[in-house]
């Protein structure tokens, strides 16, 4: 007893620890668990698996003795080429596992799996890439095969999907299927060699399309099946099963087998329903909440089979038959019924070759009141579509609306059709069936409940004839087409023939109110308004269009547009044309009195447009020569969205594209232009748009208080790398305004922001623009002259650093007067050739450069009276000249380097020593001259020596002034000085 007691105590402790671990471990080690899971996912899955470790739980109590693992809000998101696409998203995922099997058994039995609101979206691209292919292949190429059979087995009791959705989009076929609001449950013992798999599925909305044709649209599907699984999970035998689409039910019998290289099958199907109403539920729009109230009668028979082998090269044989006898239906709220519905359809393929499929609609008849409709169709195969078909009907549209709901539409008129087609359709050989079609509408009338103004007196006569089967001998006519809307008549006639070389003759005359038409025939996402009047005749052949023989396409007439408005969800601005008039001929369109608005911008245009036919039919370049006038042109509205983040407190602009297929010359006169944060006034000149390039010729405008002249190109051929190449002429622009407004000035010449005064320039500049329409500063090259009439600079750290070095008085004010500065931009630096300013009273020459990195490298030469130099330098000079009161000007050279925000000033001693040496030499020469003159005073040699020493009274005007600096030598010297300074540094 004591032993048993101890054993129970030990077991109690063990189970207690297990329960405690189940409660504690997932919480204590949740971050470690998350990290471990993330590591394993990174090794094996090429996708982003997103979940919060706090949404992971493991419990022994909720379904004891089963252990329950639960994960909430889990998502698997694809990477390129499906980047950001959700492959699998689930609100809650639960797995119940038998704890006894984990601890003591060799069989893992999953009691249940529950998926709540899963969303599965599978995509396959045309190249075969599939978004479900996310498993990273193992690098271990040596697979060890076990010689012993596994003792471990797996089983599952049941599974369930609650309110799920599934999308399969395979573009290789192309095939598309969507199921929404799916509830599914199933069970089966996968440990058995043979067992029954039981499933039940209900989807509230099923859509299926294949090859661009939608076969099922938002149908309710319900499937309940018992399938026998055998032969190592390869054979599936249909036992008890029912599939429903809306109210249409189909039962299946037979089997399906997965072989090594193909699929075998022998499946038959039929509908247990014999009521016509079940078939009626498949008709679009019929299956609604009032479907149960529809009165119907008639018998239905539906059956078929699929039998044979399916592989990459083979199809099974198949057969489908549908019969409807003496059926009718009547809507509860409508007075009349559709009666005498009879149909006999057979689709048969005996060989498994799809091209050998026969479609035989032996009979289709129905009566719309007193108006019968009869149709027949036989297509013998799907290779050359050998057919024999006809349809004949005469419908009173007023009676039709009493039998079938027209959703707020009132219709009137008599429509008749008599069509026959017999022969072969072969697009390769350009053969079509012989066709004889006659259609006619008399007394037509259409009115929508949401729009009270009707289309009245609609009538036309149309024929399609081809007696030979040759596409070139097809004739299509539309005669006497006319309609009236609110008193405005519109008429047209068309002759279209020769389907090998479309040949047309079209006449249009009348007016249309666009807004009223769009309310009768709505346009999704767009709103249109305006009144069009046209009187146009056009003839031609498509071969002449392709050959650009536009002179053989006589088009003439006139058109006008009034009060046109256009709004679209895809455009951030509205387009309006208050009036427009045009006259046509094959060569061009003349525009007159055209004016309107685009967003905030207004415009008026006149001129001509040519090659418009090639532009419409052949995507060729349209050409034009237009006068363009505007009081406001807001270019910001036309800029594409930038992919870069917007700067603080500014809008994010994008590149303004120039279409490749326009060749326009715009003679422009615009009072105000807005572009980004800039406002330009009195803009005029020529803008030539051609092949994605805007060429500006003689464009002038005022901006920021100055006047601008621009010539050059703006190139958007590569929209990702737009370029510019401009010649700029600017006059009387504030230097500070330029620094604050233009990134080029702000970056390369930041000191300009401290200078008071105006400037002008003749400057050529080119480079690349970013997606924000701002210059990419590292791509800029340029050169030109900068003219400053009068300007000043005070309170600058650059000036104060020079003052602190020289110890000179009155140097804290820099003035510029009549300065002509030569500047270049290249390799990320702005360089200026020597120009003169005044530091206080001292004439100063400045040259050097500044860079994108805010670095500066300038040489400053100041002419300073010798008496105001530093004591050491002055003493050296006085000693050499034996003078204590020298008043001659001495050049002082200063190097200005470092950064604009932290400048460094140094006295260039090597140059100063050379200057002292020259000064001493000059003084010595002067002293020698004075001694010599004293010696020869009052002697005959006086005149000769004076002439040699330059002391004569006469000057030779032909001799050069050696005191003037050689600019070439000076430039080379500056370059050499810089080289040594860099080397010493």
pLDDT tens for each residue of 190-246? 778 888 999 999 999 999 988 777 888 889 999 999 999 998 889 999 998 999 999
CA distances from 135 to 41, 78, 121 (A): 9, 11, 17
Longest dimension (CA), the chain: 155
Q: State both tokens at 699.
A: 């464009």
Q: Determine the pLDDT at residue 912.
A: 56
Q: Determine the pLDDT at residue 185.
A: 94
Q: Determine the pLDDT at residue 326.
A: 94
Residue 301 makes CB contacts below 8 A (sequence gap 6+) with 271, 274, 321, 322, 323
Asked if residue 96 has pLDDT above 90, the reply is no
Q: Determine the pLDDT at residue 151.
A: 47
Q: State both tokens at 335.
A: 């007075």
Asked if residue 1 has pLDDT above 80, the reply is no
User: Hey, which bits of 369-433 come out as E strands?
Assistant: 371-379, 387-396, 409-423
Q: Determine the pLDDT at residue 874.
A: 55
| Tens digit of each residue's pLDDT (9 = 90 or more) over 591-605 | 888 999 988 899 999
Q: Determine the pLDDT at residue 441.
A: 96
Scanning the structure block, which residue is given the tokens 């969800």?
569
**Is pLDDT larger for residue 642 or for residue 287?**
287
| Tens digit of each residue's pLDDT (9 = 90 or more) over 246-259 | 989 999 999 999 99
In the predicted model, what is the mean pLDDT of residues 930-937? 50
Exposed, middle or buried, 173 (CB in 10 Å: 0-12/13-18/19+)?
Answer: exposed
Q: Determine the pLDDT at residue 251.
A: 94
Q: Determine the pLDDT at residue 155.
A: 62
Confidence band (pLDDT; 50, 70, 90) for 375? very high
Q: Determine the pLDDT at residue 612.
A: 81
Q: Determine the pLDDT at residue 920.
A: 52
For the chain, the average pLDDT equals 80
Q: State both tokens at 457.
A: 């007196």
Confidence band (pLDDT; 50, 70, 90) for 935? very low
Q: Estimate the crossing angle of helix 941-949 against helix 909-935, to 10 degrees.
A: 170
Q: Determine the pLDDT at residue 887.
A: 56
Asked if residue 469 has pLDDT above 70, the reply is yes
Q: Determine the pLDDT at residue 918.
A: 58
Asked if residue 6 has pLDDT above 70, the reply is no
Asked if residue 632 has pLDDT above 70, the reply is yes
Between CA 863 and CA 884 the distance in angstroms is 19
In the predicted model, what is the mean pLDDT of residues 7-29? 52
**Is pLDDT larger for residue 452 or for residue 918?**
452
For 52-77, give one letter per residue: b (16+ CB within 10 A) or e.
ebeebbbebeebeebbbebbbebebb
| Tens digit of each residue's pLDDT (9 = 90 or more) over 148-174 | 554 445 567 788 999 999 999 999 888
Asked if residue 890 has pLDDT above 80, the reply is no
Asked if residue 414 has pLDDT above 90, the reply is yes
Q: State both tokens at 538.
A: 């056009």
Q: Determine the pLDDT at residue 833.
A: 92
| Tens digit of each residue's pLDDT (9 = 90 or more) over 526-571 | 888 888 898 999 998 988 877 878 778 888 889 898 888 888 877 7
Between CA 549 and CA 167 the distance in angstroms is 50
Question: Comparing 320-334, 354-368, 746-760, which segment has the lowest mean pLDDT?
Answer: 746-760
Q: Which of 51, 52, 69 is nearest to 60 (CA)?
A: 69
Confidence band (pLDDT; 50, 70, 90) for 611? confident
Strand partners, 267: 254, 306
In the predicted model, what is the mean pLDDT of residues 949-961? 44
Between CA 767 and CA 782 the distance in angstroms is 9
Q: Which of 550, 583, 571, 567 is nearest to 637 (CA)?
A: 571
| Tens digit of each residue's pLDDT (9 = 90 or more) over 863-888 | 877 666 555 455 544 544 444 445 56
| Tens digit of each residue's pLDDT (9 = 90 or more) over 746-783 | 788 877 777 888 888 999 999 998 887 788 888 889 99
Q: Give the number of residues written for the chain.
A: 985
Do 322 and 315 form a contact (C-beta atoms < 8 A)?
Answer: no
Asked if residue 183 has pLDDT above 60, the reply is yes
Asked if residue 302 has pLDDT above 80, the reply is yes
| Tens digit of each residue's pLDDT (9 = 90 or more) over 813-872 | 788 888 888 989 898 888 999 988 888 778 888 899 988 888 888 888 888 776 665 554
Do 833 and 969 form a contact (C-beta atoms < 8 A)?
Answer: no
CA distances from 898 to 354, 669, 805, 904, 973 (A): 81, 48, 15, 5, 21
Do 766 and 781 form a contact (C-beta atoms < 8 A)?
Answer: yes
| Tens digit of each residue's pLDDT (9 = 90 or more) over 111-131 | 788 999 999 999 999 888 899
Asked if residue 26 has pLDDT above 70, the reply is no
Asked if residue 936 has pLDDT above 50, the reply is no
| Tens digit of each residue's pLDDT (9 = 90 or more) over 708-754 | 999 999 998 888 889 989 999 999 988 888 888 887 887 888 777 77
Between CA 893 and CA 955 the distance in angstroms is 33
Q: Determine the pLDDT at residue 112.
A: 84
Scanning the structure block, which residue is given the tokens 């809507």?
331
Q: Determine the pLDDT at residue 638.
A: 74
Asked if residue 946 has pLDDT above 80, the reply is no
Q: Which of 872, 865, 870, 871 is nearest to 840 (CA)?
A: 865
């Amino acid at each position: 007893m004591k032993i048993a007691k101890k054993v129970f105590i030990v077991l109690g402790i063990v189970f207690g620890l297990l329960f405690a671990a189940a409660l504690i471990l997932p919480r204590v080690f949740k971050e470690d668990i998350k990290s471990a899971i993330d590591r394993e996912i990174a090794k094996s899955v090429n996708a982003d698996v997103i979940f919060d470790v706090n949404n992971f739980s493991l419990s022994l109590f909720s379904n004891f003795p089963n252990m329950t693992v639960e994960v909430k809000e889990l998502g698997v998101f694809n990477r390129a080429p499906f980047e950001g696409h959700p492959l699998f998203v689930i609100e809650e995922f639960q797995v119940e596992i038998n704890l006894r099997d984990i601890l003591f058994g060799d069989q893992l039995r999953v009691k249940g799996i529950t998926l709540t609101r899963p969303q599965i979206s599978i995509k396959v691209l045309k190249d075969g890439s599939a978004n479900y292919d996310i498993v990273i292949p193992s690098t271990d190429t040596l697979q060890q095969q076990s010689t012993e059979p596994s003792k471990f087995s797996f089983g599952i009791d049941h599974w369930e999907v609650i309110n799920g959705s599934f999308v399969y989009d395979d573009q290789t076929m192309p095939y598309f299927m969507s199921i929404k609001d799916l509830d599914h449950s199933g069970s089966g013992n996968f440990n058995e060699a043979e067992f029954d798999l039981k499933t039940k599925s209900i989807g509230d909305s099923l859509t299926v399309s294949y090859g661009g044709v939608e076969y099922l649209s938002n149908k309710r599907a319900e499937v309940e099946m018992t399938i026998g699984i055998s032969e190592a999970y390869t054979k599936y035998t249909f036992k008890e099963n029912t599939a429903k689409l809306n109210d249409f039910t189909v039962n299946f019998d037979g089997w399906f087998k997965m072989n090594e290289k193909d699929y075998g099958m022998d499946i038959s199907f039929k509908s247990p329903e014999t009521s016509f109403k079940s078939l009626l539920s498949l008709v679009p729009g019929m299956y609604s909440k009032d479907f149960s109230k529809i009165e119907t009668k008639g018998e239905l028979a539906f059956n078929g089979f699929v039998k044979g082998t399916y592989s990459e090269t083979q199809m099974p044989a198949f057969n489908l038959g549908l019969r409807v006898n003496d059926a009718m239906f009547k809507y509860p709220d409508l007075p009349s019924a559709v009666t005498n519905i009879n149909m006999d359809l057979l689709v048969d393929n005996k060989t498994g070759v799809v091209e050998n499929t026969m479609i035989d609609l032996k009979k289709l008849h129905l009566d719309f009141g007193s108006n019968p409709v009869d149709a027949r169709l036989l297509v013998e195969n799907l290779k050359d579509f050998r057919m024999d078909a006809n349809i004949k009907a005469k419908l009173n549209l007023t009676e039709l609306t009493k039998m079938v709901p027209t959703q707020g539409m009132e219709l009137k008129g008599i429509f008749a059709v008599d069509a026959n087609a017999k022969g072969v359709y072969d697009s390769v050989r350009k053969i079509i069936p012989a066709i004889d079609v006659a259609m006619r509408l008399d007394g037509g009338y259409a009115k929508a409940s949401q729009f009270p103004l009707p289309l009245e007196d609609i009538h036309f006569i149309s024929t399609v004839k081809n007696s030979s089967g040759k596409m070139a001998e097809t004739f299509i006519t539309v005669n006497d087409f006319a309609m009236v809307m609110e008193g405005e008549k519109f008429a047209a006639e068309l002759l279209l023939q020769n389907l090998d070389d479309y040949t047309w003759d079209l006449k249009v005359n009348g007016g249309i109110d666009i807004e009223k038409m769009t309310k009768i025939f709505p346009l999704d996402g767009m709103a249109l308004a305006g009144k069009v009047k046209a009187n146009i005749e056009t003839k031609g052949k498509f071969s002449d269009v392709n050959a650009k023989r536009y002179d053989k396409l006589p088009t003439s007439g006139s058109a006008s547009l009034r009060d046109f408005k256009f709004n679209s969800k895809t455009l951030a601005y509205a387009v309006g044309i208050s009036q427009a008039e045009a006259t046509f001929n094959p060569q061009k369109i003349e525009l007159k009195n055209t004016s309107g608005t685009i967003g905030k911008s207004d415009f008026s245009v006149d001129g001509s447009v040519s090659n418009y036919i090639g532009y419409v039919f052949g995507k060729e370049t349209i050409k034009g020569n237009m006068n363009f006038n505007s009081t406001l042109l807001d270019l910001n509205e036309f800029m594409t969205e930038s992919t870069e983040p917007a700067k603080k407190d500014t809008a994010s602009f994008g590149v303004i594209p120039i279409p490749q297929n326009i060749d326009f010359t715009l003679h422009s006169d615009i009072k105000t232009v807005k572009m980004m944060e800039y406002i330009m006034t009195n803009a005029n000149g020529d803008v030539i748009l051609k092949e994605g390039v805007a060429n500006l010729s003689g464009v002038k405008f005022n901006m920021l208080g100055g006047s601008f002249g621009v010539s050059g190109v703006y190139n958007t051929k590569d929209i990702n790398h737009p370029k510019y190449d401009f010649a700029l002429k600017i006059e009387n622009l504030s230097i500070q305004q330029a620094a604050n407004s233009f990134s080029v000035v702000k970056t390369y010449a930041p000191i300009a922001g401290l200078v008071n005064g105006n400037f002008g320039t003749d400057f050529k500049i080119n480079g690349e623009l970013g997606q924000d329409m701002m210059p990419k500063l590292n791509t800029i090259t340029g050169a030109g002259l900068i003219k400053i009439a009068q300007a000043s600079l005070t309170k600058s750290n650059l000036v104060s650093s020079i003052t602190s070095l020289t110890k000179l008085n009155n140097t804290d004010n820099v003035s510029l007067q009549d300065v002509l500065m030569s500047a270049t931009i290249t390799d990320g630096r702005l360089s200026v050739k020597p120009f003169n300013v005044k530091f206080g009273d001292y004439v100063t020459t400045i040259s050097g450069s500044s860079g994108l990195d805010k670095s500066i490298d300038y040489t400053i030469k100041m002419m300073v009276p010798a008496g105001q130099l530093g004591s050491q330098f002055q003493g050296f000079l006085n000693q050499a000249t034996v003078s204590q009161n020298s008043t001659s000007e001495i050049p002082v050279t200063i190097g200005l380097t470092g950064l604009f925000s932290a400048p460094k000033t140094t006295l260039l001693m090597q140059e100063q020593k050379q200057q002292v040496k020259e000064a001493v030499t000059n003084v010595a020469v002067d002293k020698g001259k004075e001694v010599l003159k004293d010696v020869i005073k009052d002697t005959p040699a006086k005149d000769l020596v004076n002439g040699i020493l330059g002391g004569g009274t006469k000057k030779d005007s032909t001799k050069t002034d050696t005191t003037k600096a050689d600019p070439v030598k000076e430039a080379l010297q500056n370059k050499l000085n810089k080289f040594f300074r860099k080397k010493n540094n």
